[in-house]
Structure 1
Amino acid sequence: MLLSHVPGMFTHPDAEWELIKKEHSNPGRIYFTYIGILALIGPVCAFISTTQFGWRVGDGELIKLTTMSSIQLNVLTYIAILAGVFGLGWMIDWMSKTYGSGHDEYAANGIALAAYSCTPLFLAGFVSLYPVPWVNMLAYMVAAAYAGYLIYDGLPHVLGIDQDRAFFFSGAILTVGLVYLVTTRVGTVIVWNLGFAPVFVSG
């Protein structure tokens, strides 16, 4: 099962990348048995915390989201995660030709690299159970830093790109990720204006 790669991404990523390269799982299998499961962690934990626990800003009153509002927002978040991983994986595969890697007809290697590199970000979703903004921000920053390292470390193994080129390629990949992040922020504003804005209630 692909979820067996999770511990290895933290304990021995080099060996794990080699196993992933040999598997060469198709994108559909990666989505159904890895991304689709781990991507649920953040939205599910956020739903629980925002509807059951709530949060405070300073000394203000306890704030929660209504159940329906939280469901809507977290479903959209889940969709955005799935789309983001696919987009990043497709871009990795497309850009890899420039950096000396063979092109994969089904973008399997690119999507695998994106999916497994995002493992720390998926698992950071558990922190959403503790709805304190600065704690969540710190956890995701640490997870993002390690995800960046996994991308750099995985490029030579999964795509056969030499270490020197991998440094610049990983920078390009992170740039794509930042562009997607900004796009989702803009998209959030648009979606909220279309009637999906959060509905708050006092705890």
Structure 2
Amino acid sequence: MILNHIWGLYTHPKDEWADIDNRHESIMYGLSHIMLVALIPSICGYYAAAHIGWSIGAGDPVKVTESSAMVLAAGMYAAIIAGVFALAYLIQWMAKTFDATPNFTQALELAAYAATPILMVGLAALYPVLWFVAMAGMLAVAYSVYLLYSGVPIMMHIPEEKGFIYASSVVTVGLVLLVCVLASTAMIWTLGFGPEFMG
């Protein structure tokens, strides 16, 4: 099953990383995982934005039209897939510096499975209150970082000391990718492609 590693990543992450590394799954398996899990924030974000409305402090919930929400959800889905692929490419590219020789499939697995908690927290959008989603997001980011630190030495076959520095580099690159996505979104919105709010 595509999602069979998720429970293990939450209950016994180091053992699960070893299992992922031992299986040598195909690139289609990793791709299927990320394409399926990326649907969670996209669908939940769509439903919250168009049908529930976001509560930002006092006042009525803020909603966007269904067509705007659909465009935002599709854009989010594409950005997630592109972001995970970019992170996987950078993981493989940085590997030489740390005496690791992963193939792209290993790098994609590391990026996809480490990002899973961040994507699964998209379920929090079904209760679209800003403070709640922000708290859930911070917990998910913290666990994703933990998964990355525990997974890099195992997946890249390097000592833990090198793995710590390698994982720190991956976290930095991930933050830069996030800033690039947010900046791109802001630029697109200023060009007139922003969401259409409901009155």
Q: Tell me the TM-score normalised to structure 1 length.
A: 0.94
What corresponds to 1:45 in structure 2?
A: 44
The runs of at least 4 aligned residues of structure 1 exceeding 3 Å deviation read none
2:152 to 147, 151, 155: 155
What corresponds to 1:87 in structure 2?
A: 86
- Residues of 1 paired with 2:28 and 2:86: CA distance? 14
Give the direction of change, closer, same or farther, for the CA distance of 1:12–1:86 in structure 2 (3 Å limit): same
The percent of aligned pairs where both chains have the same amino acid is: 38
Contact 2:55 2:130 in 1 (8 A): no
- The gaps in structure 2 that reach 5 residues or longer are none
- The gaps in structure 1 that reach 5 residues or longer are none
The one-character-per-residue Cα deviations of 1:110-163 (angstroms, maximum 9, x if unpaired) are 110011111111110100111111111111111111111111101121110110
What corresponds to 2:34 in structure 1?
A: 35
Shift of 1:18: 1.2
- Residues of 2 paired with 1:15 and 1:62: CA distance? 43
- Residues of 2 paired with 1:57 and 1:90: CA distance? 37
Shift of 1:60: 2.1
- Residues of 2 paired with 1:150 and 1:92: CA distance? 15
Alignment RMSD: 1.2
Contact 2:51 2:63 in 1 (8 A): yes
Contact 2:91 2:170 in 1 (8 A): yes
Q: Tell me the TM-score normalised to structure 2 length.
A: 0.95
Shift of 1:30: 1.2
Count of matched residue pairs: 199
The SS at the match of 1:75 is helix
The SS at the match of 1:4 is coil
